[in-house]
Amino acid sequence: MASPVNLPLSKIEGFILGIVGLASFLGLWFVISASGLVPRQFLPTPLDVVARTFHLLTEPFAGATLPMHLAKSLERYTYGFLLAAAVGVPLGMAMGWFRWLDDIVTPIFDGLRFIAPIAWVPFAALWFGTGIGGPIMIIFSGAFPPCLISAYRGARYVDGKYIEAAQMLGTSNLRTIVDVLLPASFPSIVAGLRVGAGLGWQSLVGAELIVASAGVGYMMVQGQSNVSTPTVVAGMIAIGLVGLLIDVALRQMEAFVRRRRGLA
């Protein structure tokens, strides 16, 4: 066979190819838009988007500037995510530890699992209107499953030897939970939090598209109604960027935890 599958490229070659790929993409985008092949109204040039983003940094649109919308979004997101973690992690661990709890909760969870988090939006709207409760509930429903499952797995599949060693040493149940179970499950929990954070952020977008009166998702919907495509794209980039930052931050934390635990 001609070329081997897995020989890494030299750093230079990788870098150059990366630049070529990116430049081709941006260049193609620019040409298609600027030449009028696709009406500029529908496909703004990359520069249009950048200009609009700068504009939105200081000038309000749909009630607030971009940073203000972002702040609103982040506020709800934080509440929703913290709630999901605060409920999901302890419950998951308890389910991992107490079989009877697992047996009770799992059927309920399995029943609700296939309902896409976004399908809770109408109920959220009915119960909370356009208040903050709605988006929080959606974010919760997105972030909750990974937090629960990872805590559950972390607790349930803790190497039995740790538990046996603790019992052999005469540790009380509470102590076992705090000093053995919790630290041993930690890496799994942190990984789950990271996934939950990502899903929560994605759910937020969905929620804001439908039931919000502020926030980046709302800004995008307004941009769409006003046929201001650069606004929509600026919103997409902002959401993507913040989501990326959240993920990077959590990955760092996860790596840190793993190093501390001697796992990496």
Partner 1 sequence: MRISRRLVLGAATVSVLLIAWALLTMVTGTISTGRFPSPLQFWQSAKQILTVGYADGTLIQHALHSLKLVIMGFLVAIAVGVPLGLLMGWSRRAEALINPVFLLIRPIPPLAWIPLAILWLGLGDAAKIMVIFFAAFVPSVINTFTGVRTIESHIIEAARMLGTGRWRFVREVLVPAAAPMIFTGLRLSLQASWTTLVAAELVGALAGLGRVLNMAQQDIYPAMVMVGMAAVGVLGWGTTRLLAEVERRTMPWLTP
Q: Interface residues with partner 1 (CB under 8 A)? A: 1-9, 13-14, 17-22, 25, 42, 100, 103-104, 106-108, 111-112, 114-123, 125-127, 201-202, 205-206, 209-210, 217, 220-221, 223-224, 227, 229, 232-233, 235-237, 239-241, 243-244, 247
Three-state DSSP class for residue 219: helix
Three-state DSSP class for residue 6: coil
Q: Specify the residue for token string 């930052």.
A: 245
Closer residue to partner 1, CB minimum distance, 154 or 235 = 235
What number of other Cβ atoms are within 10 A of residue 12's Cβ?
8
Q: How far is the CB of 13 from partner 1 (least distance, A)?
A: 7
Alpha carbon 154 to its chain centroid, in Å, reads 20
| 69-100 per-residue burial string, b: 16 or more CB within 10 A, e: under 16 | bbebbbebbebbbebbbeebbebbbbbbbeee
Supply φ then ψ for residue 64, to 5 degrees. Answer: -160, 165
Q: How far is the CB of 229 from partner 1 (least distance, A)?
A: 6
Closest to 92 in 3D by CA, of 164, 165, 157, 137? 157
Q: How far is the CB of 60 from partner 1 (least distance, A)?
A: 18
Closer residue to partner 1, CB minimum distance, 124 or 180 = 124
Q: How far is the CB of 246 from partner 1 (least distance, A)?
A: 10
**127, two tokens:** 């119960």
Closer residue to partner 1, CB minimum distance, 122 or 183 = 122
Closer residue to partner 1, CB minimum distance, 32 or 178 = 32
Q: How far is the CB of 81 from partner 1 (least distance, A)?
A: 14
Residue 61, strand partner residues = 64
Closer residue to partner 1, CB minimum distance, 1 or 168 = 1
